[in-house]
Structure 1
């Protein structure tokens, strides 16, 4: 999607901003204004712009990214900020144990042995 965007819209100025309105660069207020305008048009008034950051963070975590990677990607100054906001999204040890045990039982009960030594 970003490649298509770059094909259609060349980044402006020496800084090469990826998202802008001509020479006008989004700041926090203008980005928020555009988001509110768009979400009203599509009937998503309940979602704030910051929800997109949490959605992105949860996708990174679900894909297995570690806390430092998520911290740097979101621009947090410390891991504790990331953990305070999103620690509930990382799998707990109990979740990993249940998943590992379920996988092991599935192999033992439902997969055919590959050789006589596996029996």
Structure 2
């Protein structure tokens, strides 16, 4: 299962308003629910026909990259991609998470800033700041 946001829900609702259906939304030529293998074949064929160099795997990487850029945790990305463990997710996508140096600097600045502010204001208030 993939959770979808309002943009996708609205697009699907508009499609169903135009093409009402009581059955599965995505089907193969026989009207059966569209399975991944068949979807991949159709999607990649359509991309080739359109002259676009995109594979199903590229779309998977795009999805993972967007989740990470949006602040998703390793566990969230692992679950959405269906990886057996977070280790697999990290082996593939660790380079996309924000840098540790930037994050640790930001964390320590946030922790230490309130401690530094009173000292600065006291020093300035007492006239010691020249």
- State the TM-score bracket (shorter-chain normalisation): 0.5 to 0.7
Deviation at 1:19, TM superposition (A): 2.7
How many residues are treated as equivalent by the alignment? 100
1:76 to 79, 83, 106: 83
**CA shift for structure 1 position 70:** 0.8
Larger radius of gyration: 2
Q: Name the CA distance, whole Å, in 2 between partners of 1:11 and 1:94.
A: 53
Match for 1:38 among 28, 38, 46? 46
TM-score, reference length from structure 2: 0.61
TM-score (norm 1): 0.66
Unaligned runs of 5+ in 2: 1-7, 107-120, 125-130
Would the aligned equivalents of 1:11 and 1:19 in 2 still touch at CA under 8 Å? no
Q: Which deviations, in whole Å up to 9, do the C-alpha atoms of 1:5-33 show, x marking residues without a partner? A: 14433462xxxx45324732222331122
For structure 1, list consecutive stretches of 5 or more residues without a partner in the other structure. 101-116
